Each structure stands twice: as C-alpha cells, then as structure tokens.
Amino acid sequence: ASDLKKRKVIIDVLILNAGVMMGRQAITKDGLDLVMQANHLGHYLLSRILLDGGGLNLETGRILTVTSSTYSYAKSIDLNDLFCQKGRQYTLFGQYAMSKLANILFTKELDKRYPKLFTAAIHPGLVRTDVVRNMPWYLYYPNSAFSFIMCTLQKTPSQGAWCTTYLAAAQASQLSSGQYWVNRKVQELWPCANSGATELWDDSAKNV
C-alpha cells in the first residue's frame, strides 16, 4: 500500500483473495489467530489504507472479496472470541468458516459506508488449489488419494476466477452492490450473515 502511494497509483478494482486454512491454530507475531488475520483483517487493513489514503478510485472503484460457501457453517460472527483465544474451540473448518463469514459482513459494511463503490463477496466454487496443504494428515492424505475423482468435481483456478473477472469488468448498470455472488448471480445469504457487520467493522479497526 505504501509503495502504491509513492507511485501515486489509483486502483480501480481491488481483488481480495488471500486465504489460508490451518489444521492447528497458528498465532501471528501480532498475537492473533493466523486464519482470521490473513483471511479477514489483512483485507480490512489494506482496504482502509487505500480508501483513507486516496489509493482507490472512490467514485467508480470496485472491491471484490473472495469468500466461500462454508461461511454458512458459522452460526453467527463471534465478536467476543473472533480469534479463538477466549474459550471458543479452534477447528480447521470452524475458524475458516468464521473468517469467510467475516468477508461477507465486511463487504456489506463497505457497501453501506462507501455507497459510490461497487462491492461484492464472491464464492468461486470448489477450486483445485493448494489451500488444503495445512490440513491434518488424516484429511490431507485421503484428499490427495482421491484427487483423481475430486478433479472431476473441481474447477480449475481459471474457472474459479470466472465470476470475479466478470464482476471486475461488467457494466455497473448490470450489477448489484453489497451482495453475495455465485456463478455470476446474486445468491441469498443464510441468516448468519444478516447481522454483525457494523460491529465487526468497529472491532476490526481496534485490532489493526
């Protein structure tokens, strides 16, 4: 972000796609859970720096956040223990789902606070990537062993980027901002994504 500011680059489309899954909880040098920091807080911080520092086109810019349908595994955003450090049990899928729910709530709050921007949370589908490399062995090896079957069900990375590319380039008149997109269509969210966006935004500001 600082490098972009020095070069006076103005971004028209920001795609937030960093993401990790961890079989065992890892703590960053900031003392926070790695999954939540990488999958949500990093996106939040970069966006805020660009938005507040003039690095993003505030009139017609777009912020696209890649999330996952696994967000629905989280019953609600747990603002009391977002990082699994106050008693909430850490599990690979549980914390990953919580971070993906955070992506969606972040998108919704962005849309409210910056109405001139186009924002979207995007589920790319089941994509063949190495995101599972940090799974426990008892999940990783069966996944690898049956990879030839999984390949028939998974999208290639290029196919997985289809919806994101569409939303980056489509005419604004064709799009609805602040929504959850799957295969170029807006999809209704589960109830867990209907509340907590403003509170998450405020809590994230305190943690960065």
Catalytic annotation, residues: 96
CA within 13 Å, CB half, 175: 27
d(CA 74, CA 53): 33
On whether the CB atoms of residues 85 and 39 are closer than 8 A, the answer is no
Match 């349908």 to its residue by tokens.
69
Query: SS3 of 153, please?
Result: coil
- Alpha-carbon separation of residue 83 from 33, 53, 77, 80, 190 (angstroms): 5, 28, 11, 9, 22
Please report how the helices 92-113 and 197-207 are oriented relative to each other, as an axis angle in degrees rounded to 10: 100
